[in-house]
Amino acid sequence: MNHFSPRRTALRSILFGALILCTALAPSYAATDYTISLVNPDKHLVEVQIVLPEGPAQRELQLPVWNALYQVRDFSQYVNWVRAKDRAGRPLAVRKLDKSRWQISGAESGAAFEYQIYVDSFGPFGAQLSPHHAFFNLAQILMYPVDARDAPMLLRFSHVPDGWHIATPLTSLPDCRFSAENYDRLVDSPVEIGTFQESDFDEAGGHFRVIVDAESRDYDMEKIDATLHKIVAAATSWMDDRPFDTYMFFYHFPRGPAGGGMEHSFSTAIDLNADVVSRAPEVLASVTVHEFFHLWNVKRIRPQTLEPVDYTKENYTRALWFSEGCTSTAADFIQLRSGLLDEPHFEQELASGIAELERRSAHLTQSAEESSLDAWLEGNAYYRRPDRSISYYNKGELLGILLDLAVRAASHGQASLREVFQWMNQNYARKGRFFPDSDGVREAAEAVSHTDLGWFFVKYVAGTDEIPWNDFFRGVGLHLVEGTSTAADAGFVASRNFDSPMTVAAVTAGSEADRAGLQAGDTILEINGKAVGQESSQDLAGLTAGDTITVKTRGRRGEEHELHWKVGSRSDITYDLRDVENVTAEQRARRAAWLKGEAQSPQQSQSR
């Protein structure tokens, strides 16, 4: 997938006060001053120099153990060496304190801390330097001075291969450096360096830049821009807010495995497989709306439990059902408003989301809040079993729909999820306050509906009560019709952690897969001759009963097997959303407002 072979750069260690490509600058002693050198793209090696201003003699430097994904990833595993010097270039003592923290002594007149780090994890959550490009989630490679995390930060890049350009939402200074008011803001700003395509546009009073790293024949920049115009216009009008002047969209469309988006306050980075981009442009739209809406929900409308971020360990929050799930709900309404989604598809996706939750037996044992707390376990295949966990994305998106309907019912159509979000934006985000997890959502929903909604939060957010779907959908004249369908069943459940191999989580006892020798814990390398990638789950879902499936596996002791068996079948519960009998004028009016994600005007609701 490389279409560009850069000039090879020699592996060179960085000297204190190294020459920079743009302008040689004296190191700044007012701020922490980072230089990231792209020393060896072939070997994925980056060298970092951190110039610390004058201060205490002893300083500590910490590399985060997590960022972006709610998973401890221990980025320090990639640090090859560290060293420190004083301003005159004399070595300073460095003492390792734990797996991710270092202490230097004798730094009272300033010091340079240097290290080499291996970076080859692709995707919006990762950091990668390759002969093709560099993309940095900066928290993965930049240590922070523990005593100055809130102080201003400066950043420059050196050894940038000829012809490569830099794109980042960081503030650009005239001397080729970038600045941020503190470390959190610095690492909330992804960086792409390479030969990307770029476009820009204005919409809703803001300026937008679009950075695409992909084969040019795999996408149409004009179509992407047209979609982005719609998204930005619909989202800012839905929130009646635009808390930024400029915003940046980063896209990677690799031919191989990809997937996922990462939100930031002033940008988003999204990776999608090139085939998906051309075959299903609606996927690009829906991922983008979700990530864009995060600039409010989670970045600015932020749970207290995520602040201040503790980069040294897990940050437990009960709010991901809202911060992630309800971001998807808001994204649904924004797509409906912008014409990117229509009523039949919206209701179809809603019904299949309900089926997804109902089919996971863990919906009776794990609440939406517990699923949020357990986000940190998602890297483990056993945890992802349908009888062990639910998804806070899935249940959270449905809870967003139900909360919207509950608020409409309680307020006689005068309020909706839109008012809940706007209330939280006004009363928390814009005041610089963080909300107290689910209690903060409840507070907002009760404020806009003037009703006690405690029952909703007790039963469905903190609890695992079965959801009486039709009690909620009646208000908009719909009901859920339950059915069964016979679905192909390969006899096992397998899943992937974002960039890890596909692992078998469970094998159905007595199934053909069981008889063929497939075991929980096996890694799946190939399915029907095709290497496992982003589309493998869809490929598995597309199987027909009676087909022969060939699976290449690696067992836990490293042994590889090729297994064949006949795909069986199982009966699945299915759902459809249909009109109730005799839809009333009141239900019709409420549904029309629901499909626009907005409250009814007083006249519409008085006609009841």
Find the shortest distance in angstroms from Cβ 200 to Zn ion. 25
Site stretch for Zn ion (CB under 5 A), options 244-252, 316-324, 356-364, 494-502: 316-324
Distance CA 316, CA 328 (A): 21
Burial of residue 602 (CB within 10 Å: 0-12, 13-18, 19+) is exposed
Find the shortest distance in angstroms from Cβ 325 to Zn ion. 9
Per this entry, what is the length of the chain? 608
Interacting positions 324-353 with Zn ion (CB under 5 A): 324
Site stretch for Zn ion (CB under 5 A), options 6-14, 187-195, 319-327, 591-599: 319-327
Q: Which is nearer to Zn ion, 321 or 565 (CB)?
A: 321
How many residues line the site for Zn ion (CB under 5 A)?
1
Q: Which is nearer to Zn ion, 283 or 592 (CB)?
A: 283
Q: Give the residue from 307, 332, 329 showing the smallest Cα distance to 317.
A: 307
Chain-centroid distance of CA 220 in Å reads 24
**Which three-class secondary structure state does DSSP give residue 214?**
coil
Q: Give the residue from 350, 343, 398 showing the smallest Cα distance to 371.
A: 398
Find the shortest distance in angstroms from Cβ 282 to Zn ion. 17
> Which H, E and C letters describe 504-522, residue by residue?
EEEECCCCHHHHHCCCCCC
CB of 65 within 8 A of CB of 124? no
CB of 76 within 8 A of CB of 100? yes
Q: Which is nearer to Zn ion, 130 or 391 (CB)?
A: 391
Q: Which residue is nearest to Zn ion (CB)?
A: 324
**Which three-class secondary structure state does DSSP give residue 127?**
strand
What are the tokens at 59? 């300083």
Find the shortest distance in angstroms from Cβ 303 to Zn ion. 13
Q: Which is nearer to Zn ion, 295 or 551 (CB)?
A: 295
Site stretch for Zn ion (CB under 5 A), options 29-37, 323-331, 560-568, 584-592: 323-331
Q: Which is nearer to Zn ion, 320 or 448 (CB)?
A: 320
Find the shortest distance in angstroms from Cβ 353 to Zn ion. 15
Q: Which is nearer to Zn ion, 324 or 374 (CB)?
A: 324
Q: Which is nearer to Zn ion, 324 or 397 (CB)?
A: 324
Find the shortest distance in angstroms from Cβ 304 to Zn ion. 19
Q: Which is nearer to Zn ion, 50 or 289 (CB)?
A: 289
One-letter identity of residue 461: V
Find the shortest distance in angstroms from Cβ 352 to Zn ion. 19
Find the shortest distance in angstroms from Cβ 321 to Zn ion. 12
What do you get for the CA distance between the two ends of the chain, in Å? 60
Site stretch for Zn ion (CB under 5 A), options 65-73, 117-125, 300-308, 320-328: 320-328
What are the tokens at 480? 């859920």
Q: Give the residue from 38, 47, 42 showing the smallest Cα distance to 5.
A: 42
Contact positions toward Zn ion, by CB under 5 A? 324
